[in-house]
Amino acid sequence: PTHYQAIISLIKSPQELFLIYPAADWPFDIKQLEKLATERSDLTVVLDGDLVIGFADLYSNLSGSKRFVGNVVVSQDYRGKGIGRALVRYMCDRVFERYANEVHITVFNHNLPALTLYASMGFKPYDMELRKMPSGGRAMAIHMQLNRRGWQS
């Protein structure tokens, strides 16, 4: 709860919110973040001093058989500096240490920076799902997985 307002301020547009948390409504607010916190685990912030510059969490699919890294966001001013990579690496380590031998992540086809990052970390696509965007357009959600074998924390 301490960092909720700062987490919300990381998300600057409806389009960005869709990439990060497609089930949320714009404008993203405390009530939605509180709901997310009841459905997710390991809510994690990245700090630069007292400034929140990144956020991610973990969640399971409906059957509980898969563990996902979710809601990954890095402040616009800090993108391209390795913060996202470090955050996703940390979240993967959490999954491998506490929950499962495989970690999953979902990324939209037009989010090339995230898609490139996840692929460079060893995530491999295994499924795709067509989703409707708030704008009325369509996007392909690409589900990717990373196995503990070969993982270097």
CB-based contacts of 24, cutoff 8 Å, min separation 6: 17, 32, 36
For 28-73, how does the pLDDT look when each residue is reduced to its tens digit (9 = 90+)? 999 999 999 999 999 999 999 999 999 999 999 888 889 999 999 9
For 101-114, how does the pLDDT look when each residue is reduced to its tens digit (9 = 90+)? 999 999 999 999 99
Question: Which parts of the chain fold into alpha helices (H)?
Answer: 4-9, 14-20, 30-39, 83-98, 112-120
What are the structural domains of the chain?
A: 4-147 (3.40.630.30)
What pLDDT shows up at residue 63?
84
